[in-house]
Amino acid sequence: MTEKYIARSRAVAARILDAEMIIMSATDSTLFTLSEVATVIWQAADGRTPLSQIVRQRVCAEFDVCLDDAYRDAEAFAEDLAGHGILRISDRPILDETSGPRVHL
Amino acid sequence: MTERRHFRSESCPSRETGALGVTVEIGGIPISLRGGDPDFCGLIEQRYAGFVNPKAQPAFEFEFDLDSPAEPSNEDARVFKKGFVWFFERGDFRAAWDVRSRRGRVRQSPNPYSLDTVLRIAHTLVLAGEGGFLIHAASAIRDGRAFLFSGVSGAGKTTMARLAPPDADVLTDEISYVRRCKRGYRAYGTPFAGELARVGANLSAPLDTLYFLVQGPENRVEPVSPSDAARALLRHILFFACDRDLVQRVFDAALAFVSSVNVAKLVFTPDSRAWELIQ
């Protein structure tokens, strides 16, 4: 399996409000609201941590879900957000985006 | 406390250039509009009657060059920044506005509706810097407090404005003006009118509640969660620029707003009884 790395785009504004992560794209002002699991993945998307590690250490540790299912869902989620330009996916660490947007809690 | 402003409408030559000029003060922010010709200045005075303030010290200035007449364009305005200069462009106008000098230049057709868009864009940019915004909402003052009624086209903004009781002052039926102040937020009247085709009262008052309008079989107020309020608010804030810093500011402003102002859903039947809930 090829490792995947994900990084939050810098062209977004994001904040947790009322236990929900709300994200606004700076390119087209589209709004996104993430589920609890998706929020965990989003917050861990630093461009350096492999997606498999995020799923294993964060998702499976915090939610009652099996690794294979969680990884498949995480991949789909990442690709969906990447399609909207608010997340980047690469098969190598994404060093230029690691600072990402500041996530206000 | 409600603030009432009375301005005498008069066009006056600029002290510096002798060119014709009109200062339009909306939301307590005077913008000087200079150039054009006497006819166009007359049009501006008519269009912004009640908001022309020749005595105000302009916070910003726009110099006008008039193009050949053209209808306002239906396309979206493009708003972008290069260095310290904002550019606003649409089929019927082109503007450049330097935020350092606080001066801008507009080339547009002699149409007050094109100017309307230029002014709205300028005000959204100014307000974004201080935590305020323009929002698609009707608004009114009652008992010294301001109430906003937001919704998509057809939700009932103009209806709520039209049904306002005699003791309410309508600030606008289309575009509401919200500024952050020391003790919260304040709503101001605007000349930006919708179907009512009437400029709002040039008044301001502390903001009490933002209602999102939904027409229904009865009148009732429903709570809205902070995250739902933030999402709905962000959908209705006037926002023109695809600029990262500005998006962050507007986003932060919306979230700060829903954290400190009452936000609710107003389900209403289109008759005056809906106003019985607005106290």
Taking only the tens place, the pLDDT of each residue in B173-184 is 999 999 999 999
Mean pLDDT over B52-77 rounds to 87
Q: Which of B110, B128, B146 is the last residue before a domain boundary?
A: B128
Q: What is the pTM of this model?
A: 0.86
Look at residue A19 in the predicted model and tell me its pLDDT: 83
Tell me which residue in B227, B234, B239 faces A18 most closely, judged by beta carbons.
B227
Q: Are residues B224 and B140 part of one domain?
A: yes
Residues from chain A that touch B77, judged by Cβ atoms under 8 A, are none
* Chain B nearest CA to A29, separation (Å): 7
Tell me which residue in B227, B242, B247 faces A22 most closely, judged by beta carbons.
B227
Taking only the tens place, the pLDDT of each residue in B108-121 is 988 888 899 999 99
Question: What is the percent of chain A where pLDDT is above 70?
Answer: 90
Question: Looking at the predicted structure, is the pLDDT value of residue A103 above 60?
Answer: no
Q: Which of B98, B128, B158 is the last residue before a domain boundary?
A: B128
Per-residue exposure over B22-55, b if at least 16 CB sit within 10 Å of its own CB, e if not: bbbbbbebbbbbbbbeeebbebbbebbebbbbbe
Q: Are residues B223 and B96 part of one domain?
A: no
Residues 6+ apart with CB under 8 A from A36: A19, A63
Greatest mean pLDDT among A12-21, B65-74, B176-185 lies in B176-185
Q: Which of B88, B111, B128 is the last residue before a domain boundary?
A: B128
Sequence spans of domains, chain A: 5-90
Domain that holds residue B201: 133-277
Residues from chain A that touch B78, judged by Cβ atoms under 8 A, are none
Look at residue B19 in the predicted model and tell me its pLDDT: 57
Q: What is the CATH topology of the domain spanning A5-90?
A: Arc Repressor Mutant, subunit A (1.10.10)
ipTM of this predicted structure = 0.76
Q: Are residues B138 and B119 part of one domain?
A: no
> How would residue A98 be classed by pLDDT, with cut points 50, 70 and 90?
very low
Q: Are residues B139 and B104 part of one domain?
A: no
Q: Are residues B150 and B77 part of one domain?
A: no
Mean pLDDT over B82-90 rounds to 94
Q: Are residues B266 and B149 part of one domain?
A: yes
Give the C-alpha separation, B98 to B87, whole Å.
9
User: Exposed (0-12), middle (13-18) or buried (19+): which is A103, by Cβ within 10 Å?
Assistant: middle
Q: How many structural domains does chain B have?
A: 2
* Chain A nearest CA to B249, separation (Å): 9
Q: Are residues B144 and B121 part of one domain?
A: no
User: Exposed (0-12), middle (13-18) or buried (19+): which is A2, by Cβ within 10 Å?
Assistant: exposed
Look at residue B238 in the predicted model and tell me its pLDDT: 93
Look at residue B1 in the predicted model and tell me its pLDDT: 62
* Eight-class DSSP state of A58: I
* Chain A nearest CA to B243, separation (Å): 6
CATH number, domain with residue B190 = 3.40.50
Q: Are residues B95 and B35 part of one domain?
A: yes
Question: Looking at the predicted structure, is the pLDDT value of residue B195 above 60?
Answer: yes
Per-residue exposure over B146-168, b if at least 16 CB sit within 10 Å of its own CB, e if not: bbbbbbeeebbbbbbbbbbeeeb
A17·B248 Cβ contact <8 A: no
